[in-house]
Amino acid sequence: MPAELDYSFSAMGSDIRLLIGPPLMSSAPAPLAAADREKAFVLDFAERLSRFRPDSELTALNESPAHRVPAGELLRLAVRAGVWAARRSDGLVDPTLVRALERVGYDHSLQGAVPASLSDAVASAPARWPARPHPAAAWRGVLIDDEAGYVERPPGLAIDTGGTGKGLCADMVARHLWVYTRYAVDCGGDIAVGGVGAQLNPYMVEVEHPITGRSLGAVAVSQGGVATSGLNVRIWRRTDGSFAHHLLDPSTGEPVWSGLVGATALGATAVEAETLSKMALLLGPDGAREVLDDRGGVIIHDDGTAEVIGSVSGSINQLALAA
């Protein structure tokens, strides 16, 4: 059997990896040609939806004083994914927290920045408490009109597509690769898997410990999505000496300290997996167990202990691995 193509590049402040098996039909492009095509798609996706680029479509939406703003198909898809995640999570995964993210220090790209110490952050974090939705639920005021090509939202309400963007990108690339025997698309930890070959021989997706950086083992994925949310990648020290990260409690606009530092979730799609992993981390241990029980997942507690939730194929070390 021909070897599977393993193709990597950087985009969206993350490592992107494509695994593509042999084509199912002779008319399909060779895996390398398909990978080059998808790289161009991902780079374009990232440029058009970055809130840090002044010329992006997302920036144009957020800076428009109008209530009803023209929006291309990709932007509408991204906004819809964010609203879907908010609805699925009852407002916990909220795409309207841009101003809160800016206030805590995430007002510029952190690509290339060295993260602060998660161990130090956990040691000095405030009392653990699960996140709650914001009572105003501003995301409910975001509407997408596909027929006319518009996004509607109250003027001044900024939208962040980053909460679901990598999952959406992985799902879109995966749909482009349906003509291959098997494929996996990893967009910075949000992974979409498919193909008959993957059902016969599942991909083993490693789970990294967010504190130690060591592998906890792997979960088997034959189709759908798997995603990991952790506090270790985007964490920094504020000018007052406190630590901040990018996962906010919508009710306070402050970084959440729920008792968990990482969560991996399985889902029907990468967007769903990404949403479930964020819900789990935001809710803390008790809420995470409820959220992940149906499809399965892994949570990492503050003390470094890993816990497998639901039915997960593979092998995960559940010992306390924190330094």
Q: Which of 243, 279, 260 is nearest to 104 (CA)?
A: 243
Q: What is the value of pTM for the model shown?
A: 0.94
Dist. CA 26–CA 272, nearest whole Å: 33
Integer CA distances (angstroms), 185 to 119, 188, 191, in order: 30, 10, 5
Find the angle CA(98)-CA(102)-CA(104) to the nearest 5 degrees: 120
Kindly state the average pLDDT of the residues 295-300.
Answer: 95
Kindly state the average pLDDT of the residues 166-178.
Answer: 97
Answer whether 183's CB lies under 8 Å from 193's CB. yes
Q: What is the token pair recorded at 29?
A: 């492009």
Q: What is the token pair recorded at 83?
A: 């609203």
Identity of residue 157 = L
211: part of which helix (H) or strand (E)?
none
Q: What percent of the chain has pLDDT over 90?
A: 89
Answer whether 280's CB lies under 8 Å from 292's CB. yes
Where helices occur in the chain by DSSP H, the ranges are 31-49, 57-63, 73-88, 98-103, 118-124, 162-176, 196-200, 270-292
Tens of pLDDT, residue by residue over 214-272, are 999 999 999 999 999 999 989 999 999 999 999 999 999 999 999 999 999 999 999 99
CB-based contacts of 50: which residues, under 8 Å, 6+ apart? 12, 56, 58, 59, 109
| DSSP state, residue 155 | T
CB-based contacts of 251: which residues, under 8 Å, 6+ apart? 131, 132, 133, 134, 135
CB-based contacts of 150: which residues, under 8 Å, 6+ apart? 68, 69, 70, 71, 144
pLDDT band at 319 (very low <50, low <70, confident <90, very high): low
Q: Which of 84, 100, 167 is nearest to 134 (CA)?
A: 100
CATH class of the domain at 5-316: alpha beta
Q: Which of 195, 164, 199 is nearest to 179 (CA)?
A: 195
| 50, 56, 58, 64 alpha-carbon torsion, rounded to 10° | 140
206: part of which helix (H) or strand (E)?
strand 203-208
Q: Say how many C-beta atoms besides its own lie within 10 A of residue 154's C-beta.
A: 10
Q: What is the structure's pLDDT at 320?
A: 45
pLDDT band at 317 (very low <50, low <70, confident <90, very high): low
Tens of pLDDT, residue by residue over 80-113, are 999 999 999 999 999 999 999 999 999 888 877 8
